[in-house]
Structure 1
């Protein structure tokens, strides 16, 4: 087993004075120090060779590896494994070769400054990611702590809140936490105006206005989606999601994506979940893209194509939903691509597609259901039940 040679050290605004004795020794004796400009400024008067983060970051893995055999330190902010570069470095350098030295995280600092229990707060980031991904957490009374991109992030978050009826939400910018230049800026989302420094944490106390969208993570109403009438309806969608079992970091193939309703709810249900939508119609891809941004799933990847050909070369899925273009060939391709213990759900509304699902059920097993929903609607001065088109659902789990 290779001995550890790379030390990743969290450092705060209190610079070297805030490090443990071991951390200070490692920095002072380092031959190579890697970090951003800010990190280097927090560790002055050290004779090591200085290396800055490159762009793209993947080049840094090779740069770090190149110095193996020397005393190498990577400086990061706070906790190296909480929305920090430590996780990225672990993808390129074995765990047994690294020692992590955590400092207080920005989230810990911010929760103490706000007087919020960290266990009761949503900890998210908009640094290097689309800000829309925080939208699924908007709800009355929710508290969020956000790592930010720069001084523009509070205004971006304020606009997202206001557009969804959360304009009265309180925003607090906590800058340079734990250092001599620590500062605090406060305001509300609607009409946010404070000028703030680039380096800060944003605390959000969600307050619902009279027109707020109060939405579940899954089981969204059909009318929050832009669609052309061909949408997997709310009840059938909820049943499909329950059998697809969204998981953190999971990948969904949504075949015949349409307006993106299933893919979007998959991503809302699982943190860092991804979805790939295969949809041959440009108009529907445009609707799916709009829905993904509005509803907090900006990482939805859309592919112009038709299954099974469009499935070639895609990342292996944890789940597959087939909502359109059902064929024996598409089902076979999805069955082959699924990882063990992962799931496939397919919906059919025509007799021809029902026949394909019946054949798949007879070949593979699983669960076959016919879902019919009736909704109370006006009938003259009275009310009656109006049935929607029945959906046949086949659900299957790949065991090995």
Structure 2
């Protein structure tokens, strides 16, 4: 048997002590120290415990928390600490036998109950410390979402952002201080909200509507949604390339020769656990990749300005590599000598020179070689004909 945990993380609602279970009340009564943000501390009457305000930014509080080891300590968090809350962050910094959690009703559960929305069919997102663009991949008519926001100004920003993207007819259910005496629920459309006296804490239920462009769930986002100078893996080739890259949960991608960033962005959209680094030698294109990633809500894309293979040194090792531009003998040799066995590689070649280098390495390592030839209808005098694109040779191999 190990020692009893010195730290308890208790989920507190806006109704303060009234909403706590008997077990949570007992832990709080027995505590020597209560540590929490000022709003949470204000919901708990003063007792015999020492009270410490959790500082801003949140990460700065962990040094203070660790200094309390050996004292019975309670950290107060909102609702369910492990649903877009502080619980996972605290757990990462402590051994499993040092802490325990006593969750309360989450804001999402309270909001779903007010709106009569089945929670298992509703998108839930914590945007109180994340950009609004994280919502972008999910914007489509008929989608329902409940999002946590930083404050009232963030609600107004959300309404303006939705309207600019063509989703101004979306109904916003603005819910303040759910579960407490200050609770208030109001509605309005994004393009005509009609009120701005929105109090913290706040969450918003979105019933999405409008004529804005939605992003498809299958691979192959329309090219027109990207900012580009023309250097982009076109939609049909991109769909085939993502299929060959075959992202799996938790994998990390190197996208060498990022161009517009479309491959890395779509890779990230495949699953929230995957990560990606895009390497681009031109500074203007690297900046454009950053803008595209942010616009699609994929701000976690790492963009490296530099020329491979030199720019690859020191990066997080990949599980998968895509070479979309600049396939060369020198680059391929470095990858083959440096990367771990089992790393997957997909390379697209358009020029005769890169195709020849790719064919040479295919002869050495094997793998699958695919020639992709596409044609699109185009005007041909008064009639129509087929206009062929440059053929693409695609090599897929496991190193």
TM-score normalized by structure 2? 0.92
Q: 2:338 and 2:61 mapped to 1: Cα distance?
A: 33
Tell whether 2:108 aligns with 1:117: no
Q: 2:227 and 2:252 mapped to 1: Cα distance?
A: 23
SS in 2 for 1:58: helix
Q: 2:105 and 2:205 mapped to 1: Cα distance?
A: 17
Q: Relative to structure 1, is the Cα distance of residues 304 and 133 closer, same or farther in structure 2, using a 3 angstrom cutoff?
A: same
Q: 1:272 and 1:41 mapped to 2: Cα distance?
A: 36
Q: 1:373 and 1:177 mapped to 2: Cα distance?
A: 55
Tell whether 2:20 aligns with 1:22: no
Q: 1:106 and 1:250 mapped to 2: Cα distance?
A: 31
Q: Relative to structure 1, is the Cα distance of residues 50 and 86 closer, same or farther in structure 2, using a 3 angstrom cutoff?
A: same
Aligned to 2:175: 174
Q: Relative to structure 1, is the Cα distance of residues 9 and 386 closer, same or farther in structure 2, using a 3 angstrom cutoff?
A: same
Deviation sequence 1:352-393 (CA, Å, 0-9, x none) = 222332343334433221111111222222222211111111
Q: Relative to structure 1, is the Cα distance of residues 123 and 392 closer, same or farther in structure 2, using a 3 angstrom cutoff?
A: same
Aligned residues of 1:263 and 1:277 also touching (Cα < 8 A):
yes
SS in 1 for 2:152: coil
Where does the alignment leave 5 or more consecutive residues of structure 2 unmatched? none
Aligned residues of 1:135 and 1:160 also touching (Cα < 8 A):
no
Q: CA deviation at 1:335?
A: 5.6
Q: Relative to structure 1, is the Cα distance of residues 341 and 121 closer, same or farther in structure 2, using a 3 angstrom cutoff?
A: farther
Aligned residues of 1:27 and 1:46 also touching (Cα < 8 A):
no
Q: Relative to structure 1, is the Cα distance of residues 378 and 248 closer, same or farther in structure 2, using a 3 angstrom cutoff?
A: same
Aligned to 1:202: 204
Aligned residues of 1:169 and 1:207 also touching (Cα < 8 A):
yes
Deviation sequence 1:30-60 (CA, Å, 0-9, x none) = 1122211111112222322222223443343
Q: CA deviation at 1:19?
A: 0.9
Q: 1:33 and 1:246 mapped to 2: Cα distance?
A: 44
Q: 2:173 and 2:253 mapped to 1: Cα distance?
A: 36
Deviation sequence 1:49-104 (CA, Å, 0-9, x none) = 22222344334333322222211211100111111111112221123332111111
Question: Equivalences for 1:305-324 in 2 at 5 Å?
Answer: 305-324=306-325
Q: 2:109 and 2:303 mapped to 1: Cα distance?
A: 37
Q: How many residues align?
A: 396
Deviation sequence 1:132-169 (CA, Å, 0-9, x none) = 11110001100011011111122222222212211111
Deviation sequence 1:267-304 (CA, Å, 0-9, x none) = 22222644322112122123222322333323333221
Question: Equivalences for 1:241-260 in 2 at 5 Å?
Answer: 241-247=242-248, 250-260=251-261
RMSD: 2.2
Q: Relative to structure 1, is the Cα distance of residues 25 and 340 closer, same or farther in structure 2, using a 3 angstrom cutoff?
A: farther
Aligned residues of 1:247 and 1:271 also touching (Cα < 8 A):
no
Aligned residues of 2:171 and 2:188 also touching (Cα < 8 A):
yes
Aligned to 1:159: 160
Deviation sequence 1:13-41 (CA, Å, 0-9, x none) = 11112111111111111112221111111
Q: CA deviation at 1:113?
A: 0.6
Aligned to 2:214: 214
Deviation sequence 1:234-269 (CA, Å, 0-9, x none) = 011111212323455543322111111111212222
Question: Equivalences for 1:142-157 in 2 at 5 Å?
Answer: 142-157=143-158
Aligned residues of 1:79 and 1:104 also touching (Cα < 8 A):
yes
Question: Equivalences for 1:5-16 in 2 at 5 Å?
Answer: 5-16=6-17
Q: 1:340 and 1:9 mapped to 2: Cα distance?
A: 46
Q: CA deviation at 1:336?
A: 6.8
Q: 1:2 and 1:163 mapped to 2: Cα distance?
A: 56
Where does the alignment leave 5 or more consecutive residues of structure 1 unmatched? none
Aligned to 2:349: 348
Q: Relative to structure 1, is the Cα distance of residues 172 and 308 closer, same or farther in structure 2, using a 3 angstrom cutoff?
A: same
Deviation sequence 1:161-205 (CA, Å, 0-9, x none) = 212211111111111001011001211111334211121111111
SS in 2 for 1:264: helix
Tell whether 2:239 aligns with 1:238: yes
